[in-house]
Amino acid sequence: MKYKYLLTPGKIGSLEIKNRAIMAPMSAALANPDGTVTDELIAYLTARARGGIGLILTEYAYVQESGKSSDHQISAASDDKIEGLSRMVSAVHAAGAKIGLQLQHGGRRSIVDVQSASPVPMDKTQPTPRVLTTEEVYVLIKDFIWAAVRAKKAGFDLVEVHCSHGYLLNDFVSPHTNRRTDEFGGGVKGRAMAPVMIIKGIKEACGADFPVSVRVSGDDMVTDGNLKRDAAELCMLLEEAGADLLDISGGMLGVGYGIAPAAKETGYNVEAAIEIGKVTDCAVSVAGRINEPEYAEEILRAGHAQFVSIGRALFADPDFVNKAADGREEEILPCVGCLQRCYGSYGHGGVFRSCMVNPFAMRETTLPVTPAKTKKKIVVVGAGPAGLECAWIAAKRGHEVVLFDKNSEIGGQLRAAAMPPHKQLLARALVYYYNMCRKYGVDIRLSTEVGEKEILGEKPDAVVLATGGAPIVPRIPGIESIELTFGSEVLLGKKPKGDRVLVIGGGSQGAETADYLGGLGYEAAVIEMRDGIALDDHEATRKLLLARFAENGVQSYIGSTVKHVYPDGVDYEKDGEMHSIRSFDDVILSIGVRSNNPLQEKLEGKVAELHAIGDASVARNAVNALYTAACLGSEI
Tell me the catalytic residues.
167
What are the C-alpha distances in Å from 438 to residues 334, 413, 478, 594?
18, 21, 47, 30
- Which residues, in sequence order, are CB contacts of 227 under 8 Å at separation 6+? 219, 220
Strand-pairing partners, residue 402, are 379, 443
Angle ∠(123,127,129) on CA atoms, nearest 5: 100
337: left (phi > 0), else alpha (psi -120 to 50), else beta? left
What is the spatial distance between Cα 395 and Cα 440, in angstroms, rounded to a whole number?
Answer: 6
Distance of CA 82 to the CA centre of its chain: 30
Torsion angle, alpha carbons of 11, 14, 18, 21, to 10? -50
Residue 483: CB atoms within 10 Å = 8
CB–CB of 393/634 below 8 Å? yes
What is the spatial distance between Cα 608 and Cα 73, in angstroms, rounded to a whole number?
Answer: 44
Helix (H, G, I), strand (E, B) or coil at 62: strand
Q: Which helix (H) or strand (E) holds 206?
A: helix 193-206
CB–CB of 11/286 below 8 Å? no
What is the spatial distance between Cα 65 and Cα 395, in angstroms, rounded to a whole number?
Answer: 47
What is the spatial distance between Cα 254 and Cα 250, in angstroms, rounded to a whole number?
Answer: 9
CB–CB of 447/407 below 8 Å? yes
- Which residues, in sequence order, are CB contacts of 458 under 8 Å at separation 6+? 377, 379, 402
Torsion angle, alpha carbons of 203, 207, 208, 209, to 10? -120
Q: Which helix (H) or strand (E) holds 94?
A: helix 82-94
What is the spatial distance between Cα 412 and Cα 259, in angstroms, rounded to a whole number?
Answer: 29
What is the spatial distance between Cα 286 and Cα 303, in angstroms, rounded to a whole number?
Answer: 11
Helix (H, G, I), strand (E, B) or coil at 328: coil
What is the spatial distance between Cα 409 and Cα 57, in angstroms, rounded to a whole number?
Answer: 40
What is the spatial distance between Cα 86 and Cα 365, in angstroms, rounded to a whole number?
Answer: 20
What is the spatial distance between Cα 309 and Cα 180, in angstroms, rounded to a whole number?
Answer: 33
